[in-house]
Amino acid sequence: MGKESWVKAALVWAAIIILFVLSFKFLYKPHEDVQKTYPQFQSYVEKAAGDPQSILSVSIRSDNLRGDEITAKLKDNTSVITYAPADDGVRAQLRKDLEGKKIPINYEKPDEGSMWINFLTMWLPLIIIVVFMLLFLRNMQGAGGKAMSFGKSRAKLQSDSANKVTFKDVAGIEEVKQECSEIVAFLKDHKKFQDIGARIPKGVLMMGAPGTGKTLLARAIAGEAGVPFFTISGSDFVEMFVGVGASRVRDLFENAKKNSPCIIFIDEIDAVGRHRGAGVGGGHDEREQTLNQLLVEMDGFEANDAVIVIAATNRPDVLDPALLRPGRFDRRVMVGLPDVRGRKEILGVHMKKIRHTEDINVERIALGTPGFSGADLENLCNEAALMAARNGMKRVTEKDFEAAKDKILMGPERRSAVLPKETIKVTAYHEAGHALVSHFLKSRENVHKITVIPRGQALGVTAYLPKEDVYGYSKEDLLTKIAFAMGGRAAEEIKFSQFTTGASNDIQQATELARRMVCQFGMSRLGPINFGQKSENPFLGRDWGESRNYSETLAHEIDMEVSKIINTQYELAKQVLIDHMDVFERVSNILLEVETLDSEEFLAVVDTEATSEQIKEMQAKKISSGNSEGDQGGTKAEQASTINSLNTTPTPA
């Protein structure tokens, strides 16, 4: 418990104890004490004239706060307590009356303790209420906050000693680093640019897929320039209170001007920079007020020289056009996925952090992971290290990297799942159908691994990885993808003369791809026309749906074209398997026996007619050597579309 928590607890307990004591003092009175008002007490004194012994004595104690406290002892052993006003005339008259009745009077000195108790009784409740209100307001601002500081910026100023990052720590995006070097040069010597009349870009928008290193690159720019670096997330501007976001933007830029030259980095700017007029609050939407203030601060009446704003987003399509115009974010940097050389450099950076054997072929791992982002490669290294530690190894081997890649691509193995033999058999023929159709149609993607061991939510998996980095597909490539997606269903029909629900995901992917060929890519007899217009909402960041910009007759033609493409490629997949029936049977039977085939083993079965015993020998040698051959990889989108799996238990015959 921290010091502040102890203070709060002590205040609460002190307040409880004081209230308890005061309550006890004023609520509990001895039985013989009777409270009377001063006029009632005067009537007692007047009655004492007829009965001189009715009042035995009177004690008077002065109290400037409440008047004179008078205690009269009666003959029946009871006491009457009253308070006379603190007035000299009243005191003189009371003394005269008591002396006339010959009643003994005792004068007592004021009780300091009683005075303090009286004071606390009057002011303590108010003090406690004020203290609790201050604590409540302080807690609303969070730890260390101050009351009424809602409009203060939450940006953090990164110090030079706190995890300084330079361009040496950023790998795989050399062109982007060269483009950002101009910003570093300006921050180091901005007077050189200003003397010649040049204007440095006020804002740099970094766009790219998640995990490509946008945030790391911004930190490297600040580290290279050696200037203050303010970091904040786009969501930190927006609060439930109206006007807070705009106030935080003003405060952020005021702090930045005091520390100029400096960099302001806004991560995930799409949280606050979306199209205006798309929200639910109209022109009074809090997000729009925040965006308006950001637009004014970046390029308004006041100049922000030597303050550069760097923002990162993976949704540039939803940003407001006013934010992207020259003078604000007038430079856009596309941070793409790394190529094979970039992946090798990124792996080298992350592999320095783990203990590994010296014989790891980094280039082979880079070749086997096309489409992986920097974050994916960092995760690959971490998964490999976790696997090595879990297996009791002291160093990471290439075998661990291959196992980690399989886990990322296909999901974790579920060897504990007990499946019926008939289900495993259907799965083996289904996956063999996928692999053989892809192989014999000369696909641009190699078979990476085939397995009948359940992985993730699938009962079996066939994974494909492109032979090289793919930047575009031809019509023949897409038709081939549809064909080997339907290879599993074709295999079930040929071998078992029935269909199972395992091909549902394959059919869904094939249908979606065929429809895109017709409606978006113009790869059908309908010509190069785009059919359908997406209804986008930048506030939600997703498409509402698709509105038709074509007639019902044309919709029927589109459906017929999609059906024709799928059925044609399905018949092609069936014909390929029938033409190579002996290979189909051999691969399926060996797969049933050894459960998993990698690319080398698959080619050995298809091309050299290797037996199951030979395949087992190959697998034993790989295990003994501690290395597994690395194949070639594929992008995340391609992985999603090329990993075909039997997701459900097949329907009984």
Are residues 205 and 223 both part of a single domain?
Answer: yes
Beta bridge partners of 156: 231
Are residues 363 and 466 both part of a single domain?
Answer: no
Tell me, yes or no, whether 448 lies in a domain.
Answer: yes
Are residues 477 and 517 both part of a single domain?
Answer: yes
Are residues 235 and 365 both part of a single domain?
Answer: no
Is 481 labelled a binding residue?
Answer: no
Is 460 labelled a binding residue?
Answer: no
Omega prior to 261 cis, within 30 of 0: yes
Domain boundary among 310, 334, 358: 334
- Helix, strand, or coil (residue 596): strand
Which strand ranges, in their side-by-side order, compose the sheet holding 596-598?
Answer: 596-598, 445-451, 461-466, 644-645
Give start and end residues of each alpha helix (H) in 391-503: 398-410, 421-440, 475-485, 487-496
Question: What local confidence, expressed as pLDDT, does residue 296 receive?
Answer: 87
Are residues 187 and 317 both part of a single domain?
Answer: yes
Is 350 labelled a binding residue?
Answer: no
Tell me, yes or no, whether 147 lies in a domain.
Answer: no
CA 295 → CA 250, 307, 320, distances in Å? 11, 14, 10
Query: What is the number of structural domains in the chain?
Result: 4
Are residues 472 and 391 both part of a single domain?
Answer: no
DSSP conformation letters of 533-561: EEEEETTTTEEEEEE--S-HHHHHHHHHH
Give start and end residues of each alpha helix (H) in 106-243: 112-140, 174-188, 190-195, 214-225
Are residues 317 and 346 both part of a single domain?
Answer: no
CATH code of residue 351: 1.10.8.60
Is 506 labelled a binding residue?
Answer: yes
Tell me, yes or no, whether 641 lies in a domain.
Answer: yes
Is 635 labelled a binding residue?
Answer: no
Instruction: Assess whether 363 carries a catalytic annotation.
Output: no
Tell me, yes or no, whether 285 lies in a domain.
Answer: yes
Tell me, yes or no, whether 46 lies in a domain.
Answer: yes
Question: How far apart are the two ends of the chain, measured CA to CA in Å?
Answer: 66
Are residues 402 and 418 both part of a single domain?
Answer: no
Q: Which of 224, 345, 378, 431 is catalytic?
A: 431
Is 385 labelled a binding residue?
Answer: no
Are residues 173 and 66 both part of a single domain?
Answer: no
Domain boundary among 334, 357, 374: 334
Question: What local confidence, expressed as pLDDT, does residue 5 receive?
Answer: 60
Is 208 labelled a binding residue?
Answer: yes
Angle subtended at Cα 585 by Cα 410 and Cα 500, rounded to the nearest 5 degrees: 55
- Model's pTM, two decimal places? 0.64
Are residues 300 and 312 both part of a single domain?
Answer: yes
Is 356 labelled a binding residue?
Answer: no
Question: What local confidence, expressed as pLDDT, does residue 636 receive?
Answer: 38
Domain boundary among 355, 385, 409: 409
Are residues 372 and 306 both part of a single domain?
Answer: no
Is 211 labelled a binding residue?
Answer: yes
Are residues 268 and 283 both part of a single domain?
Answer: yes
Tell me, yes or no, whether 588 lies in a domain.
Answer: yes
Tell me, yes or no, whether 136 lies in a domain.
Answer: no
Is 434 labelled a binding residue?
Answer: yes
Tell me, yes or no, whether 211 lies in a domain.
Answer: yes
Block means of pLDDT (10 residues each) for the chain, 653 residues, are: 60 68 56 63 68 70 66 72 70 72 70 59 70 67 47 59 74 82 79 79 86 85 81 76 75 84 86 73 65 83 73 87 86 86 89 88 85 89 91 88 84 73 87 90 83 78 78 88 91 88 88 92 88 60 62 90 94 92 90 85 84 81 56 38 36 30
CA 222 → CA 232, 311, 348, distances in Å? 14, 13, 23
d(CA 56, CA 48): 10
Query: Which are the contacts of 531, defined by CB distance < 8 A and separation ≥ 6?
Result: 518, 519, 520, 549, 550, 554, 558
Is 151 labelled a binding residue?
Answer: no
CATH code of residue 635: 1.20.58.760
Q: Which two tokens stand for residue 61?
A: 């104690």
Domain residues for the domain of 230 are 156-334
The candidate with the shortest Cα–Cα distance to 592, out of 424, 462, 465, is 424
